[in-house]
């Protein structure tokens, strides 16, 4: 019964409804496919009109442009410009899908570790940060393509 009642997240978007961009730049594509040509690029936290939904893809329009966007690149509610927007600090517009490298354990957190005697934990977390940041975005894309996840499903 639960499965019958399931409503996929992207089904939240319906023609005539609204959606928002949540990345620094979101590409509107000519077709509902990850490698389709780019029709236009939309900036962060822009309101879009939903024109059509096809599986995990949503065709939207904004400012005279129309194109397809993977539902996972859209938000149902407008992102906070005062907080969420700053997640992008240190992430270039051309590499927004990459994990935010160059954001190590904050110095004040390191100081906290020293105050609390968490030396080993500090080494562990610093190792984790280094290890995670060493995983390139290309590995994630390869995984998504092979496993048919994200925009490749």
Q: Is 47 in the site for another protein (CB under 8 A)?
A: no
Q: Is 81 in the site for another protein (CB under 8 A)?
A: no
Binder of another protein out of 18, 45, 52, 88 (CB under 8 A):
88
**Residue number with CB closer to another protein (47 or 149):** 149
* Minimum CB–partner distance for residue 65 and another protein (Å): 22
CA atoms within 13 A on the CB side of 44: 15
Under 8 Å between Cβ of 29 and 39: yes
**Residue number with CB closer to another protein (64 or 148):** 148
Over the Cα atoms of the chain, what is R_g?
Answer: 19
Question: Residue 49 pairs with which residues in a beta bridge?
Answer: 18, 61
Q: Which residue has the tokens 């089904």?
A: 11
Total chain residues near another protein (CB under 8 A): 65
Apex 134 CA angle, 96 and 99, nearest 5: 20
Q: Is 34 in the site for another protein (CB under 8 A)?
A: no
**Residue number with CB closer to another protein (17 or 72):** 72
Q: Is 122 in the site for another protein (CB under 8 A)?
A: yes
């Amino acid at each position: 019964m639960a499965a019958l009642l399931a409503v996929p997240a992207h089904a939240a978007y319906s023609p005539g409804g609204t959606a928002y961009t949540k990345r620094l730049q979101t590409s509107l594509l000519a077709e509902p496919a990850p490698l389709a040509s780019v029709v236009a690029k939309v900036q962060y936290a822009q309101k879009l009109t939903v024109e059509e939904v096809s599986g995990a893809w949503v065709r939207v329009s904004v400012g005279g442009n129309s194109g397809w966007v993977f539902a996972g690149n859209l938000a149902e509610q407008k992102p906070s410009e005062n907080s969420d927007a700053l997640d992008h600090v240190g992430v270039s517009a051309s590499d927004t899908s990459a994990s935010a490298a160059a954001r190590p354990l904050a110095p004040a957190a390191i100081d906290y570790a020293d105050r609390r005697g968490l030396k080993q934990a500090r080494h562990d977390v610093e190792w984790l940060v280094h290890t995670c940041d060493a995983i390139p975005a290309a590995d994630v894309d390869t995984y998504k393509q092979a496993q048919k996840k994200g925009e490749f499903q």
